[in-house]
Amino acid sequence: MAAMQGSAIGKPQFGPWLIEQVESGKYEGLCMIGNDIFRIPWKHNSRRDLGDGDVKIFKAWAVVSGKINEHHNDKAKWKTNFRCALHSLKNFEMLEDHSKDPDDQHKVYRIIRPQNHQEIQSVEPDQLPFITDLYSAANYMSDEMEQELLSQVETMDLNHQHAESQPWETFSQQIIPTTSSNYYETPYSDVQSFQNNTPLQDQQLYTTVQQLNLPALCDLEISINYRRTEVLKTRLCSPLVQFHYQCDPSELRGQPIRFPSTEGLIDQKQIQFTKRILDSIQRGLQLEVNQYGIYGFRQDKCKVFVSTSDPSEIQNPEPRKLHQNTRELLFSFDKYIRDLMDFKENRRGSPDYTIYLCFGEKLPDGRPLERKLITVKVNIANKNSNTF
C-alpha cells in the first residue's frame, strides 16, 4: 500500500506519517485489519497496567512534532496532541470506539484517500458536478457578488484578538474534572450519570428519554461544510465540544474539533474568503450539553449565527447572532421531547433535531446554506442509525 507523500523538511504531515507507522509493524496493537482500515491501541492513562508500549505511537508523534520537549513525561499530553492531530484531518474516519472495553481498549479508523491531484486536473468539468455548480451562470461569483461577500466578511470584525474577558473559564470549571486527561478519555454517554446530582423533577426528563428509546443526550453527529464541500464528518459523545482553528492547546476545553484547512477546495475566491474567516477563529465556539439542552458560547470576535430549523424552509428569516462571551441555549431537550411525544401522537410533524451554525456570515438570511463559506451541522445522533 503506497503511503501519501509527506513533507520533506521539518515536522512531517500527520496523515502520511500515521499511515507509515501503521504499515511499519513497529507498534504493538497498531496495525491494518482490513482494506484501508486500521486499529489504534487506546488504553486509558489511569490504568495500572499501562506500559510504554501502550503509548508508544503517541510518544512517537510527540517526538517528530517537537512537542516532546514541552511535555517530556506527560503521557496524557502525548495522547491529547495525537488525538487533536488525528481529528483535525478529513483523511481518517472513526468506525468503532472500543476505548471502554476493559480487555482490549482500542479504536478503529478508516483511511479516506483523496483523489490524485493530477487526475483531478485532467477531469472534464462535467465529471465534477460541484465544480460545475460553482462556475455555472447562476452561481458564478461576479465582481458585484464578490464585493458584497467581501463586505459581509469584513463587517464580521474578523481579527486575531482573544476575547478580553473569559467568563467561560469560571463556568467550565463546574463541569470539567480537575484531571484533564480523565475528562478527555471519559465520554459522557451514560444518562444515569446526569441523574445522580439532579433533582427529582428534572429526572423526569431522563425517564421520558429512556421510555422513548432516545440516544444518549450528548451523542452528537457533526459535519462541517465549506459551501457544498463536506470537509469533516464525525460522531462523538462529550458534554463539551470546542470548534476552533488555531487555538493554543492550553486553552482547549472538552472534545476539540479543529476546522480543516482549505486544501481540498478548488475555487480560488472561495479559498480566499474561507481562509479569511478561518484565520479569525482561535478559541472559536464551545458547545455544552447538559440535562436541559445544548448551549453555545462564542469566544472570538468572529461572529457566529445559529438556526435550529432548516434555513431553506424559514419564511421571513431573521439572522440570530450569538453574543460574545455569553452562554446561550441553542437546543432545548424539554421542548424536543414534548414535540417528539406530540409527533408520536400524530399531533405534529417530526421535530427539528439539527443545529445549524454559520461562521462569519449571517444565518438565516434567505440565501441557500450551500452558498455559505463555513457551516456546521450538529445532530442529536441515533445510535440505531446506519446512515452515519
Long-range contacts from 256-263, C-beta under 8 angstroms, 24+ separation: 256/84, 256/87, 257/87, 257/222, 257/224, 257/232, 258/84, 258/87, 258/88, 259/224, 259/231, 259/232, 259/284, 259/374, 260/88, 260/89, 260/90, 260/224, 260/226, 260/231, 260/232, 262/226
The reported pLDDT for the residue numbered 112 is 86
Place of cell 421535530: 351
Architecture of domain 144-380: Sandwich (2.60)
CA–CA gap between residue 302 and residue 280 (Å, rounded) = 6
**Hey, what CATH class is 14-111 in?**
mainly alpha
Backbone torsions φ then ψ of 345, nearest 5 degrees: -95, 10
What pLDDT score does 214 carry? Answer: 46
Cα 155 to Cα 149: distance, rounded to the nearest angstrom:
10
The domain segmentation of the chain, as residue ranges, is: 14-111, 144-380
What's residue 153's pLDDT? 58
DSSP 313: G
pLDDT of residue 313: 80
Amino acid 139: pLDDT: 39
Give the Cα separation of 257 and 173 in Å (integer).
20
Q: How far is CA 336 from CA 2, 54, 85, 378, in A?
A: 48, 42, 35, 15
3-state SS string over 199-234?
Answer: CHHHHHHHHHHHHCCCCCCCEEEEEEEECCEEEEEE
Question: What CA–CA distance (Å, rounded) separates 164 from 31?
Answer: 46
Across-strand partners of 307?
356
pLDDT, tens only, 333-358? 888 888 888 888 888 888 888 999 99
pTM above the 0.85 mark? no
* Positions of the chain with pLDDT lower than 70, given as ranges: 1-10, 114-218, 381-388
pLDDT of 4 reads 40
Residue 186 CA, chain-centre distance (Å), reads: 17
> End-to-end distance of the chain based on CA atoms, in angstroms?
27
What confidence score (pLDDT) does residue 114 get? 62
3-state secondary structure of 346: coil
